[in-house]
């Protein structure tokens, strides 16, 4: 009797396992068969009424039923998992022959690129990078740079005035006095940034960029300035670059120089970029005028300094062979793409 019931239960359970459609119904069947109050447990209780001589046979059958059903369940579970994986793989199929989506890569603007390169070179030489305000006072932009009101040297820079005392800085030299007032010598700083002048043609823009450098120490000489600038130019334009120093005039330096480098496009032979001269004018520099030191509270008997001022737009134009400064500011994506 119990024997038959066990056989029946086994066959029914095998069928329902076979026809289970998902994990949930399989779980339910598992509970019905193997659970605490499941079929197997309640049939096992019937062992009590089995005659002792039949017990080994019935016991063996209970074990067999358990093993068969467990194996069947495991097999069904595995089958379901495999099917599920297969379905997922099919639905998430990747077509590796499909052309890749074009991912646009950005790049630095040529001026940002020049600022990065130059400040890298200067930081390597021990300079700190500082910034100053673009809306500046007449005092820092001119007077502290030894350019008093109504002095003819103001004519060198056509300035945008906001009122009599406030202007858009016409030169990054304005940061010199600001830094000298707050720093204790010796120090070395560079300041890249925007500058403004009422100037507009193929090589001049009303908004442009400069990088100012200032070194204040006890024994600073023209030889230091020349060697520092030579190292910078060679690092920027290449080791075979020739450098030429010419005497010049700036109110805030005495003596003053201008610096030319051999044209990196034609290597000094003469081309359209250097207008056939083989050389390019790059920057102004000089030994800081003692009057400028004194105005900013630095003892000119103890300290001396040198300073230099780069035009960054010009540097970007030379390094990228750009003929007109306006390309730098039009934000034409076709031009910018070429600069990557």
Say whether 230 sits in a helix, a strand or coil: helix
Say whether 276 sits in a helix, a strand or coil: coil
CB of 94 vs ligand DAH, minimal distance in Å? 58
Selected from 69, 122, 285, 292, the binder of ligand DAH by CB under 6 A is 285
Q: Which is closer to ligand DAH, CB of 34 or CB of 160?
A: 160
When CB distances to ligand DAH are compared, the closest residue is: 309
Residue 253 engages ligand DAH in binding (rule: CB under 6 A) = yes
Single out the residue of 120, 116, 113, 13 nearest to residue 73, CA to CA.
Answer: 13
Residue 171 engages ligand DAH in binding (rule: CB under 6 A) = yes
Backbone angles phi, psi at 259, to 5 degrees: -120, 130
Q: Which is closer to ligand DAH, CB of 171 or CB of 262?
A: 171
Give me the helices (H) in the chain, please.
Answer: 2-19, 23-34, 39-45, 55-91, 110-124, 138-141, 174-182, 222-237, 290-295, 312-320, 327-330, 333-338
Element housing 339 (H / E): none
Task: Name the segment binding ligand DAH (CB under 6 A); options: 36-44, 84-92, 284-292, 318-326.
Answer: 284-292
Task: Name the segment binding ligand DAH (CB under 6 A); options: 50-58, 160-168, 228-236, 279-287.
Answer: 279-287
Residues 75-104 that bind ligand DAH (CB under 6 A): none
Q: Which is closer to ligand DAH, CB of 147 or CB of 263?
A: 147
Residue 322 engages ligand DAH in binding (rule: CB under 6 A) = no
CB of 99 vs ligand DAH, minimal distance in Å? 51
Selected from 9, 147, 307, 325, the binder of ligand DAH by CB under 6 A is 307
Question: Measured in Å, how far apart are the chain's first and last C-alpha atoms?
Answer: 88
Single out the residue of 323, 222, 318 nearest to residue 279, CA to CA.
Answer: 318
Contact map string, positions 194 to 233, toward ligand DAH, x by CB under 6 A? ------------------x---------------------
| Contacting residues for 137 by C-beta, under 8 A, at least 6 apart | 165, 166, 167
CB of 286 vs ligand DAH, minimal distance in Å? 5
Backbone angles phi, psi at 177, to 5 degrees: -65, -40
Between the alpha carbon of residue 276 and those of residues 64, 242, 266, 270, 318, the distances in Å are 102, 16, 9, 4, 14
Task: Name the segment binding ligand DAH (CB under 6 A); options: 10-18, 49-57, 262-270, 307-315.
Answer: 307-315
Between the alpha carbon of residue 190 and those of residues 111, 212, 220, the distances in Å are 16, 5, 17
Residue whose entry in the numeric block shows the structure tokens 């056989």: 7
Residue 309 engages ligand DAH in binding (rule: CB under 6 A) = yes
Size of the site for ligand DAH (CB under 6 A): 11
Task: Name the segment binding ligand DAH (CB under 6 A); options: 16-24, 83-91, 106-114, 301-309.
Answer: 301-309
Selected from 168, 286, 313, 318, the binder of ligand DAH by CB under 6 A is 286
CB of 228 vs ligand DAH, minimal distance in Å? 12
Cα(7)–Cα(337) distance, integer angstroms: 80
Residue 305 engages ligand DAH in binding (rule: CB under 6 A) = no
Selected from 118, 308, 316, 325, the binder of ligand DAH by CB under 6 A is 308
| Contacting residues for 169 by C-beta, under 8 A, at least 6 apart | 132, 133, 134, 135, 136, 140, 141, 195, 196
Cα(135)–Cα(316) distance, integer angstroms: 24
Task: Name the segment binding ligand DAH (CB under 6 A); options: 19-27, 184-192, 306-314, 332-340.
Answer: 306-314
Question: Which residues of this protein are in contact with ligand DAH, per CB under 6 A?
Answer: 171, 173, 212, 250, 253, 284-286, 307-309
């Amino acid at each position: 009797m119990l024997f038959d019931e066990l056989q029946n239960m086994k066959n029914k359970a095998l069928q329902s396992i076979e026809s289970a459609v998902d994990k949930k119904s399989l779980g339910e069947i598992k509970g019905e068969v193997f659970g605490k109050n499941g079929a197997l447990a309640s049939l096992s209780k019937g062992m009590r009424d089995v005659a002792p001589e039949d017990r080994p046979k019935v016991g063996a059958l209970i074990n067999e039923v358990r093993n068969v059903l467990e194996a069947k369940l495991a097999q069904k579970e595995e089958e379901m998992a495999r099917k599920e994986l297969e379905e997922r793989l099919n639905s998430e199929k990747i077509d590796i022959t499909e052309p890749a989506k074009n991912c646009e890569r950005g790049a630095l603007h040529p001026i940002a690129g020049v600022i990065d390169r130059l400040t890298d070179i200067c930081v390597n030489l021990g300079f700190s990078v500082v910034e100053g305000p673009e809306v500046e006072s007449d005092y820092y932009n001119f007077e502290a740079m030894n350019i008093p009101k109504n002095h003819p040297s103001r004519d060198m820079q056509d300035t945008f005035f906001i009122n009599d005392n406030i202007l858009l800085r016409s030169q990054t030299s304005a940061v010199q006095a600001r830094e000298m007032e707050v720093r204790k010598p010796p120090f070395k700083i560079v300041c890249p940034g925007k500058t403004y002048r009422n100037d507009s043609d193929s090589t001049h823009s009303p908004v442009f960029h400069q990088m100012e450098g200032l070194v204040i120490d006890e024994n600073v000489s023209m030889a230091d300035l020349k060697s520092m600038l030579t190292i910078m130019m060679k690092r920027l334009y290449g080791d075979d670059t020739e450098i030429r120093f010419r005497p010049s005039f700036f109110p805030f330096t005495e003596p003053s120089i201008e610096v030319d480098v051999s044209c990196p496009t034609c290597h000094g032979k003469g081309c359209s970029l250097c207008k056939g001269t083989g050389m390019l004018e790059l920057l102004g520099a000089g030994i800081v005028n003692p009057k400028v030191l004194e105005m900013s509270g630095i003892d000119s008997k103890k300290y001396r300094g040198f300073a230099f001022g780069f035009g960054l737009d010009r540097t970007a134009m030379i390094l990228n062979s750009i003929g007109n400064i306006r390309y730098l500011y039009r934000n034409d994506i076709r031009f910018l793409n070429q600069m990557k």
